[in-house]
Structure 1
Amino acid sequence: WLRNGILTLQLIISSFFIIGSIIVNQQVKYMMNKDLGYSGKQILMVNFSEENPKPWLKYERLKNEMRKIQGISDISYGEVVPGNGRSSDSNMDYMDKSIQAQHGSMDYNYLKFINVKLKKGRWLDSKLASDTISNVLVNEAFVKKFGWSDEEALKNIFHPGFDYQKDYHIVGIVKDFNIRNLKTTIEPIVFFHYRETDWKRFDVYNIQLKIDPNDIDGTVKRIKSYWQKNVEPGYPFDSYFIDKKFAESFVKYQKQQTLFTILNAMVLMVALLGLFALSSLMIEQKLKDVAIRKTLGASNRTLIFGLTKQFLWITFIAVLISIPISYYLMNEWLKDFAYRIDMPVLPFVLSLVILLLLTFSVVSIKAYQATKVNLIKYLKYE
């Protein structure tokens, strides 16, 4: 019983790691392939390091000057940048209702610059003075939080907590996009031009450069050289590609994926070695019985099945025990993600099939050897 108990425990653990590794792999693949609602490809963000009393003027000057650098196809600025974790929030009030929302200043073209889709209304326009005074864009989550339809949102006026005397008019609604990671839900966000609110002008802290994909390395070198000579000599060149920064949020889960795979292989190997050792011992003890049954005409197939049947039952029971345990633990792990796969059935079925096949394969090797015993050796005293 003790030996059977130890083997059962090993198989329960093996089943859990097979199930877990498949679910982790599916969740990581789901996150890697999910449409984030924007594109940060070939966008290099350079942070301002040097203190500047009027950073928005610095940005506007650089925007004009850096267009001349070969390999730069577009330039913009956004306070709310996917993956960098920087954001501000405030209450947004409409009549007697108030919600908490993120708010971010930006240049006119920023949301188009990162390929966010416009759902309703229009973009901010540099030719309209009102677009630097009181007009804003919001995301779908903002509209849903207030319980408006898109048409109602474009007609309503709300007041931001950071500038309560001001009326904000929504002129456009953009599709939701993820600014943090897939563990968090998309929050309501208000977007407006950095000149719209006096103190926001002083928060301009970066310039973002879209680079021609045909010469990324060469363009980055030219940007760095220009920056260190003409913009902030003596300061570190603090830059990164937006898509790579956001991808860092997946590293933790990719490591978990690798760890599960390695542990799965190790635990499975230990279980199979234990299974082989135990089956060898138990079959050795039944060799006389095998010899008698073979003498009475039992076929090799019947003998092999008879010897493996007990181990197949142990495996079946172990997997049945592991299923509720695995379901609970993996469901708790998936709860960490705002965007996750539904609990799949396939890993549980595969765990049963894989372990039954491996058990049969390992035990049947020893069982087949047992059918080749020397009958005279075991029957000469009978």
Structure 2
Amino acid sequence: MNDWRIYVYSLTMILAVTVISGLIPAIYLANFKAIETLKGNFARSRHGIWLRNGILTLQLIISSFFIIGGLIVNSQVKYMMNKDLGYSGKQIFLVSFSENSPQPWLKYERVKNEMKKIKGVDDVSFGEAVAGSYRYSNSNMDYMGKSIYAQHGSMDYNYLQFMNIKLKKGRWLNPKLASDTINNVLVNESFVKQFGWTDEQAFKNEFRPGFDDKPYKIVGIVKDFNVKSLKSAVEPMIFFHYRATSWKRYNVYNIQLKLKPDDIDGTVKRIKTYWQNNVEPGYPFDSYFVDKQFAKTFEKYQKQQTLFTILNAMVLMVALLGLFALSSLMIEQKLKDVAIRKTLGASDGTLVFGLTKQFLWITLIAVLISIPISYYLMNEWLKDFAYRIDMPVFPFVLSLILLLILTFAVVSIKAYKATKVNLVKYLKYE
């Protein structure tokens, strides 16, 4: 909002819209021939009716699109927020090490046991591939001439259990087995599928990762879980102890603590105090909750949801104002007809329905036109998501029903007033 160009642009847009919306009818009216104008009423000419109805139809098409689009965006965002991610990041508090740690794995091992003693801390672990973070390592994984690309995350022995990730087959890493810090790994389901193996074949085969010169053996397969965003599919991943390679131990950049739920604020304060006094005095305390970090991946779509809601309200208001203005004009022109029909015994209900029928047809046509347009555009939007809802029918039906109700409500107010006209006033001219 501090950019002055925004205000210049906004003022320019206002002036441009004002000039164009005044210029179009002015040019149109200026082209009338005097004789033709004096002979008849332009408002009742076929060209005038088509122009008015066309503009109203366009407004209602746009309104219908925003109603449908807003409901679909809302459904997709709710689906993503409620989807099972395959892990639990609740009450997981991550503290990042400073960049100046010369041997971060030793630092982690030193403070791990001490931080377990802090009141309110339930468990402690480390994992390189953190949900919602963008610090990921990728490499090729080779087996007998076939190669796939996979993420790899070093971790502590208990990290996958710490995050409540489910074991599909095999076993977890065991600190009592020396091989689990040398070349034993766990992989996710996507890793096995990418190689085209069965679970049994995965345990028998060894592969060579691009980041090391020794073969690695799979000892466990975990269920797929999403650490990036629901917009993208789960990628193949391998997990191994941070001491398994000579360089991965330098990627130990955080410590994660599972907090007890009874006093989270107090526990965080105690962690911060301990950290600044005993671990990294003089350095900023860089921390966050893992589930909140992952929730940031939804922010873009939550903003789109809010934007659709705001635009929906604005566009609908403009369309209803246009509808009210047009219905007022056309009903005003039919007051003599209303007076004559009422004199002949027509009921108020019959007159109201007769006056609103034309607008209900316009609304119906507008929604029917908008449905295929909305379906195509929203389906293209949903294609960006690896995990998406099926295209719902409800938004299309609701758009039709809602616009028909609003059209009837807006027009019937003016139509009902028209049934209360002074009959003598309009019949004395006939």
Q: Which amino acid aligns with 1:200?
A: K
Of 295-304 and 247-256, more deviation after overlay is shown by 295-304
Instruction: Tell me the distance in 1 between the aligned counterparts of 2:121 and 2:99.
Output: 23
Query: Is the 8 Å Cα contact of residues 50 and 232 (structure 1) preserved in structure 2?
Result: no
Q: Which amino acid aligns with 1:15?
A: S
Paired position in structure 1 for 2:62: 13
Instruction: Tell me the distance in 1 between the aligned counterparts of 2:415 and 2:87.
Output: 59
- Alpha-carbon shift at residue 100 of structure 1 (Å): 0.4
SS in 2 for 1:31: helix
Paired position in structure 2 for 1:361: 409
- Alpha-carbon shift at residue 133 of structure 1 (Å): 1.1
Q: Which amino acid aligns with 1:367?
A: A
Paired position in structure 2 for 1:278: 326
Paired position in structure 1 for 2:88: 39
Paired position in structure 1 for 2:172: 123
SS in 1 for 2:211: helix
Paired position in structure 2 for 1:252: 300
Q: Which amino acid aligns with 2:166?
A: K
Q: Is 1:136 aligned to 2:175, yes or no?
A: no
Paired position in structure 2 for 1:66: 115
Q: Which amino acid aligns with 2:268?
A: V
Q: Which amino acid aligns with 1:61?
A: R
Superposed, 1:1-382 pairs within 5 Å as 1-164=50-213, 166-382=214-430
Provide the aligned length of Structure 1 versus Structure 2: 381
Q: Which amino acid aligns with 2:205?
A: N
- Alpha-carbon shift at residue 35 of structure 1 (Å): 0.4
Query: Is the 8 Å Cα contact of residues 45 and 242 (structure 1) preserved in structure 2?
Result: yes
Instruction: Tell me the distance in 2 between the aligned counterparts of 1:194 and 1:222.
Output: 28
Instruction: Tell me the distance in 2 between the aligned counterparts of 1:282 and 1:159.
Output: 78
* Consecutive unaligned residues in structure 1, runs of 5 or more: none
- Alpha-carbon shift at residue 199 of structure 1 (Å): 0.9
- Alpha-carbon shift at residue 209 of structure 1 (Å): 0.8
Q: TM (normalized to structure 1)?
A: 0.98
SS in 1 for 2:64: helix
Instruction: Tell me the distance in 2 between the aligned counterparts of 1:381 and 1:214.
Output: 83
Instruction: Tell me the distance in 1 between the aligned counterparts of 2:425 and 2:269.
Output: 82
Instruction: Tell me the distance in 2 between the aligned counterparts of 1:240 and 1:258.
Output: 26
- The Cα offsets for residues 193-251 of structure 1, whole Å up to 9 and x where unpaired, read as 01111111111111111111111111111111111111111110111110010011111
- Alpha-carbon shift at residue 361 of structure 1 (Å): 1.0
Of 301-310 and 238-247, more deviation after overlay is shown by 301-310
- Alpha-carbon shift at residue 297 of structure 1 (Å): 2.0
Instruction: Tell me the distance in 2 between the aligned counterparts of 1:51 and 1:295.
Output: 93
* Consecutive unaligned residues in structure 2, runs of 5 or more: 1-49
Instruction: Tell me the distance in 1 between the aligned counterparts of 2:78 and 2:192.
Output: 30
Q: Which amino acid aligns with 2:256?
A: Q
SS in 1 for 2:256: strand
- RMSD of Structure 2 on Structure 1 (CA): 1.0
| Structure with higher RCO (Cα < 8 A, 6+ apart) | 1
Instruction: Tell me the distance in 2 between the aligned counterparts of 1:17 and 1:53.
Output: 55
- Alpha-carbon shift at residue 50 of structure 1 (Å): 4.7
- Alpha-carbon shift at residue 277 of structure 1 (Å): 1.1
Instruction: Tell me the distance in 2 between the aligned counterparts of 1:276 and 1:53.
Output: 72
SS in 2 for 1:202: helix
Instruction: Tell me the distance in 2 between the aligned counterparts of 1:238 and 1:63.
Output: 17
SS in 2 for 1:101: strand
User: What is the percent sequence identity of the aligned residues?
Assistant: 81
Q: Which amino acid aligns with 1:59?
A: Y
- Alpha-carbon shift at residue 96 of structure 1 (Å): 1.8
Query: Is the 8 Å Cα contact of residues 50 and 235 (structure 1) preserved in structure 2?
Result: no
Instruction: Tell me the distance in 2 between the aligned counterparts of 1:270 and 1:246.
Output: 38
SS in 2 for 1:213: coil
- Alpha-carbon shift at residue 285 of structure 1 (Å): 0.4
Of 285-294 and 188-197, more deviation after overlay is shown by 285-294
SS in 2 for 1:219: helix
Q: Which amino acid aligns with 1:236?
A: P
- Alpha-carbon shift at residue 381 of structure 1 (Å): 3.0
Q: Which amino acid aligns with 2:163?
A: I
Instruction: Tell me the distance in 2 between the aligned counterparts of 1:212 and 1:282.
Output: 68
Instruction: Tell me the distance in 2 between the aligned counterparts of 1:331 and 1:180.
Output: 23
Instruction: Tell me the distance in 2 between the aligned counterparts of 1:379 and 1:228.
Output: 91
